[in-house]
């Protein structure tokens, strides 16, 4: 960012508008500390390993934590951050490897960080686990974020959904960065994330910054327990994969959520939270466990009735049960809906995803080349490849859900179900198996008398064969 500002100042012969590294020394240690220029990569990378370690530990890291972070909403998350590389030799190796990568490219920085996040192989202490990036991209593709959207993930973790939404906007709406108002909105108000885990907040904030979003609003908040009055009706798009299978005491849960649905189950409370946070006309794509679709409790039924009758439920996309391995084997689905407050559900589009391009065991190995694994409809797969990766087909059929998809028979992988059928099904059941029809081929069998006759003939042959065999062995 500093280099960009310097280049702009040189090109237009103007003073530097925003100076990341101040002039002079940082005042840490004897003799006034280090020059701020020593903290920049182009100087820092040339130091000896011991000097490099001392500079980053005693000067660079405190500078990021105490100076840079204070200009953004992530300051509170960086307060407890400490430099964690254990030895000068290891730091020197890291710096040497990174210096060979074109780090002036925003995509490269983000990709490296995402790669490192992907190598974290264990779930968090509070049950968090990383949502597969191709599933996130599919959900973003379905909701198509716009430059004026205010996007929120109330259980953001590493901010994968927010990062993917930002990347979608960069690719499809480059005019954002030519319009001062849209650019300011993109960097300061378009992306909001909540989490209560300090480590996740730091990781998520850094993920956003490395993907070129300068001042994301990443806030420490227990979304279900804390009062969320200030968040009601604030967001136009919610993308989320909230924690499953938890339970809160009524006393621990925000009272305004209990007014929407009386329950202790976190998966239901989160859906109620999404409805509360969305503004009228706002849309959501969220992952829920299968139990939300067909659970028989009063709260389950009430929430499904609310989605179908009071808002516009658009899609139920069933995911394979192995999609979250090795962290969890729970069966899940993506719900896509729009908050209206006055109904609007006409048809609900169902899709049964049988393959997502990766093996559904704990290894999760890719089944196709990398360029054939994306979820976007412009990836054209052969019939055989489609059996290994349904996601491009999901995106393609989603575009046709209001016309040709309504003509599909319920024996297909995707189909539409009229609201009346869901209402008549009882308890507003949203499980795909409730509506999917199975084709059975007609099979003709011989008459029982013919079968008995054939069995007797075979028995006679066996008896004759045994008799001949007995003669031979005498």
pLDDT single digits (tens) 323-336: 988 777 789 999 99
Conformation bin of residue 268: beta by default, left when phi > 0, alpha when psi is -120 to 50 = alpha
pLDDT single digits (tens) 47-95: 999 999 999 888 888 887 777 766 666 667 777 777 888 999 999 999 9
Give residue 123's pLDDT band: very low, low, confident or very high (50, 70, 90): very low
Per-residue pLDDT for 246 more than 60? yes
C-alpha distances (whole Å) from 400 to each of 111, 135, 142, 422, 424 are 32, 20, 12, 21, 26
pLDDT single digits (tens) 293-320: 999 999 999 999 999 999 999 999 999 9
Q: Are 247 and 266 in contact (CB under 8 A)?
A: yes
pLDDT single digits (tens) 343-358: 999 999 999 999 999 9
Lowest mean pLDDT among 33-47, 104-118, 126-140, 456-470: 104-118
pLDDT value of position 256: 74
Q: What share of the chain has pLDDT > 70, as a percent?
A: 92
Q: What is the CATH code of the structural domain delimited by 106-434?
A: 3.40.50.150
Q: Classify residue 101 by its DSSP letter.
A: S
Q: Classify residue 37 by its DSSP letter.
A: G
Mean pLDDT (the chain) is: 87
pLDDT single digits (tens) 16-29: 888 888 888 988 88
Average pLDDT of span 126-142: 83
CA angle 104, 106, 112 (to 5 degrees): 95
Q: Dump the DSSP string for 395-443.
A: HHHHHTTTTGGGGS-TTSSEEEEEHHHHHHTSTT---GGGT--------
Higher pLDDT: 113 or 392? It is 392
pLDDT value of position 251: 65
Average pLDDT of span 380-399: 93
Per-residue pLDDT for 106 more than 70? no
Helices marked H in 119-211 — which ranges?
Answer: 133-143, 160-172, 180-188, 198-210
Lowest mean pLDDT among 112-121, 276-285, 359-368, 396-405: 112-121
Higher pLDDT: 83 or 124? It is 83
Lowest mean pLDDT among 128-132, 171-175, 430-434: 128-132
Per-residue pLDDT for 228 more than 60? yes
Average pLDDT of span 234-244: 93
Cα(259)–Cα(274) distance, integer angstroms: 14
Give residue 403's pLDDT band: very low, low, confident or very high (50, 70, 90): confident
CB atoms within 10 A of CB 345: 20
- Residue among 401, 404, 435, 238 at smallest CA distance from 315: 401
Q: Are strands 332-338 and 191-195 parallel, antiparallel or unpaired?
A: unpaired
Q: Which residues contact 257 (CB under 8 A, 6 or more apart)?
A: 224, 228, 269, 272, 273, 276
C-alpha distances (whole Å) from 367 to each of 114, 371, 393 are 21, 11, 16
- Residue among 301, 312, 310 at smallest CA distance from 335: 312
In three-state secondary structure terms, 249 is coil
Instruction: Report which listed range, 260-274, 337-351, 357-371, is most confident.
Output: 337-351
pLDDT value of position 390: 95
Per-residue pLDDT for 412 more than 70? yes
Say what the pTM is: 0.83
pLDDT value of position 258: 77
């Amino acid at each position: 960012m500093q280099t960009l500002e310097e280049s702009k100042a040189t090109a237009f012969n103007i003073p530097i508008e925003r100076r990341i590294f101040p002039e002079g020394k940082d005042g840490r240690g004897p003799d006034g500390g280090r020059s701020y220029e020593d903290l920049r990569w182009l100087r820092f990378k040339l130091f000896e390993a011991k000097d490099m370690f001392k500079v980053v530990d005693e000067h660079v890291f405190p500078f990021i934590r105490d100076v840079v972070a204070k200009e953004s909403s992530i300051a509170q998350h960086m307060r407890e951050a400490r430099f964690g590389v254990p030895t000068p030799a290891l730091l020197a190796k890291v710096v040497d490897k990174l210096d060979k990568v074109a780090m002036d490219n925003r995509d490269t920085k983000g990709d490296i960080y995402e790669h490192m996040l992907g190598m974290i192989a264990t779930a968090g202490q509070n049950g968090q686990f990383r949502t597969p990036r191709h599933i996130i991209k599919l959900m973003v593709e379905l909701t198509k974020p716009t430059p004026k959207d205010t996007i929120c993930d109330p259980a953001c973790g590493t901010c994968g959904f927010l990062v993917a939404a930002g990347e979608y906007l960069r690719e499809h709406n480059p005019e954002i960065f030519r319009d001062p108002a849209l650019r300011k909105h993109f960097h300061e108000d378009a992306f909001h994330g909540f989490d209560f885990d300090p480590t996740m907040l730091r990781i998520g904030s850094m993920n956003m910054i490395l993907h070129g979003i300068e001042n994301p609003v990443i806030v420490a908040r227990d979304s279900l327990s804390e009062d969320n009055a200030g968040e009601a009706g604030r967001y136009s798009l919610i993308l989320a994969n909230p924690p499953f299978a938890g339970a809160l005491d009524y006393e621990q849960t925000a009272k305004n959520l209990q007014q929407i649905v009386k329950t202790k189950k976190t998966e239901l409370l989160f859906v109620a939270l999404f409805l509360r946070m969305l503004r009228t006309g706002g849309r959501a794509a969220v992952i829920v466990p299968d139990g939300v679709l067909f659970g028989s409790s009063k709260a389950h039924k009430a929430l499904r009735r609310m989605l179908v009758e009071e808002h516009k439920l658009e899609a139920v996309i069933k995911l394979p049960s192995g999609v979250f391995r090795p962290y969890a084997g729970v069966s899940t689905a993506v719900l896509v809906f729009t908050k209206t407050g006055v109904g609007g559900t006409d048809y609900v589009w169902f899709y049964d995803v049988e393959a997502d391009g990766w093996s559904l065991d704990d290894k999760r190995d890719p089944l196709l080349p990398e360029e054939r694994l994306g979820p976007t409809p412009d990836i054209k797969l052969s019939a055989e490849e489609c059996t290994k990766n349904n996601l491009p087909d999901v995106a393609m059929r989603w575009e046709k859900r209001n016309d040709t998809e309504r003509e599909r028979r319920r024996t297909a992988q995707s189909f539409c179900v009229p609201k009346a059928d869901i209402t008549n099904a009882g308890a507003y059941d949203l499980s795909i198996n409730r509506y999917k029809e199975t084709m059975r081929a007609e099979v003709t069998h011989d008459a029982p008398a013919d079968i008995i006759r054939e069995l007797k003939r075979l028995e006679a042959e066996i008896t004759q064969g045994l008799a001949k065999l007995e003669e031979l062995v005498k």
